[in-house]
Amino acid sequence: MTTVLTPAAPAPPVTPGRTRRLVRRVASPWTYAALIAILAGSAFPVYWSFVVSSQTTEAVGSVPPVLVPGGHLFENIARVFDETNFALALGNSVIVAGTITVSVVLFSTLAGFAFAKLKFRGRTFLLLLVVATQAIPTELGVVPLYMMMADFGWAGQLQAVIVPGLVTAFGVFFMRQYFERALPLELLEAGRMDGCGSLRLFWHVALPAARPAAAVLGLFTFMQAWNDFFWPLVVLTPENPTVQTALSTLASGYTTDYTLVLTAATIGTVPVLLVFLLFGRQIVGGIMQGALKG
Amino acid sequence: MALTLADRRHKWDVKLSPFGFVSPYFLIFGVFGLFPLLYTAFVSLQKRNLLDAEGAQFIGFGNYEQLLFHDPYFWNSMGNTVSLWLLTTIPQILFALGIAHLLNRRLRGRMFFRMGMILPNITSVAAVTIIFAQLFGRDFGLVNWVLSWFGAGQVDWQAGTASSHTAIAAMVVWRWTGYHALIFLASMQAIPSSMYEAATLDGARGWQQFWRITVPLLRPQIIFSTVIATTGNMRLLAEPLLFNPGTAAATGGSDRQFQTAALYLYEQGFTKYDFGYSSAIALILAVATMLVAGLSYLVTRRIQTD
């Protein structure tokens, strides 16, 4: 997973003597029609996956294809949990994504705080190193990383997925940018005067101030960790999968039961969908200002 | 004047704590991020099989020679990667510009539409590919059913090069267009309407304004999106792997018709356990990615600004 930041938005020339008004054209019915059509296209595959998961297996092979939900959703869900190890996969994904999210947020806040507000030798150089490492696709090191995990005896186990994900360059940089803007130095100096050590300063002043940014970082980290596919596929076994690798195993049987596979896909999408419905505003905002990519 | 204990502790705290704060990142990244990356270069110079760790042999540039001069499958995978790059990047950017343009109006339910556009991006690549593989099925697929209204025959999407590339490109474009649209929208909103008013006075109409004002002013975002789309495409793996799951999964179709370079890396490393060869592919792919990203940077930088 790579994360990159956009360059700043262009500063458009402002005509002197004129207020910079941002009056936008009112949307016509055609605009709404076009947007709704695009929206339908965006949502359709996810919707259709849900439709199939509520149908019987026979209905999937019918012409014309089924387009409305049927009444077999719970039956299919029960089948997924009875016939596959999807419950284990869900549990594993919760552990993996949960641990990674907490750790990335904590360590990024810690390092971001140091980079933004504390002085130390080599600070600029180290920060540059963090930014530079953002650009490197981790897929490239996948073979030696696998060799390391095999040496540690971690291959096939969850820590092989968790440990390399515990920190991200993007997180450090993101939190640094936030602290730079949002945490006034006076507040820290006041804390120092009261005799706070650096750690207490972090815990009692910086961490509470970081809450909004940490929440956005946490959302994105969770979604990325939940959806991560390549590395878990390489290092885990079908006996101990995450949701995503379980899906790939389900889909690659000799005779694939599509209702079963798509029901599993639907179940696996529900957690991110819930996060999305609850925090969509922050997610959209995060993308629009920070450009996060999974 | 001797320093008190508290003073001394304070001095050490200020001096050392920052290193303590940044060290978790550098420790974990160093061991699990940077080291494997550098070690790839070393492994790529070896003949090394996972199942025979003792038998690792240093063979210099042997893997590279084999790849570049004697391996048609490698070149096939590179060709597929480039083909998918063209089929995904250009539509993504163009559609995203159009959608951002539509969203950049006074709109009721703004947040609803924005969230709808980004919905594809939050769904997992595994789920998306499995769903699309169904939609593009030969016998009962929805796409073929729709095509049949227009009298088009039953396309076997997985079978051909052009058809499979089209289907895979559709997944990538579907998943990423909304993301780029939101990036474009953010900077569109910073363009003052006075610029459009002036253009209207000069007689420029809708489309002209869009191509002559909006697009040039979005140049930095277009460059960014193109480079992101390019680097993302160069490591395309999950889509071709899951598009036709089963025995021919890692080969990207029965005839390698949609095997990407990243998938070839996976095939060599993790189904044939040829770690040396796989590492060499990784390095060549890294260089190729930089070249292609540089190329797309140069192309997008030429967007007119007058």
In B, which residues are within 8 Å of A119 by CB distance? 18
Is there a contact between B281 and B264 (Cβ–Cβ < 8 Å)? yes
CA distance B220 to chain A (A): 7
Residues 29-68 of A with CB under 8 A from B: 31-32, 34-35, 38-39, 41-43, 45-46, 48-49, 52, 60-65
Give the per-residue pLDDT at B305.
58
Q: Contact B33/A10, CB-based, under 8 Å?
A: no
Whether A111 and chain B come into contact, CB under 8 Å, resolves to yes
CA distance B138 to chain A (A): 11
Model pLDDT for residues B15-28, shown as the tens digit of each residue:
889 999 999 999 99
Residue A261 is nearest to which of B130, B217, B238, comparing CB atoms? B130
Give the per-residue pLDDT at A2.
38
What is the average per-residue pLDDT within B150-165?
90
What is the average per-residue pLDDT within A29-40?
95
Q: Contact B105/A26, CB-based, under 8 Å?
A: yes
Average pLDDT, chain A: 87
Whether residue B169 is predicted with pLDDT greater than 90 in this model: the reply is yes
Highest mean pLDDT among A22-31, A192-201, B242-251: A192-201
Band the pLDDT of A21: cuts 50, 70, 90. Answer: very low
Band the pLDDT of A233: cuts 50, 70, 90. Answer: very high
Band the pLDDT of A143: cuts 50, 70, 90. Answer: very high
Model pLDDT for residues A183-195, shown as the tens digit of each residue:
888 888 888 888 8
Model pLDDT for residues B203-218, shown as the tens digit of each residue:
888 788 888 889 999 9
This prediction's pTM: 0.90
Give the per-residue pLDDT at B248.
73
Weakest-pLDDT range from A151-155, A245-249, B2-6, B249-253: B2-6
**Best interface-test mutation with A: which of B14, B123, B212, B297 has the largest number of A CBs within 10 A?**
B123
Q: Contact A226/B22, CB-based, under 8 Å?
A: no
Band the pLDDT of A86: cuts 50, 70, 90. Answer: very high
Whether A130 and chain B come into contact, CB under 8 Å, resolves to yes
Whether residue A11 is predicted with pLDDT greater than 50 in this model: the reply is no
CA distance B210 to chain A (A): 13
Residue A46 is nearest to which of B40, B106, B119, comparing CB atoms? B119
**Best interface-test mutation with B: which of A140, A146, A234 has the largest number of B CBs within 10 A?**
A140
Band the pLDDT of A294: cuts 50, 70, 90. Answer: very low
Whether residue A13 is predicted with pLDDT greater than 80 in this model: the reply is no
What is the average per-residue pLDDT within A229-252?
94
In A, which residues are within 8 Å of B289 by CB distance? 137
Model pLDDT for residues B253-271, shown as the tens digit of each residue:
889 999 999 999 999 999 9
In B, which residues are within 8 Å of A138 by CB distance? 33, 37
Q: Contact A52/B134, CB-based, under 8 Å?
A: yes
Whether A274 and chain B come into contact, CB under 8 Å, resolves to no
Give the per-residue pLDDT at A254.
66
Residues 177-196 of A with CB under 8 A from B: none
Question: How many beta-carbon pairs under 8 angstroms link A with B?
Answer: 320
Whether residue B232 is predicted with pLDDT greater than 80 in this model: the reply is yes
Residues 133-162 of A with CB under 8 A from B: 133, 136-148, 150
Whether residue B296 is predicted with pLDDT greater than 50 in this model: the reply is yes
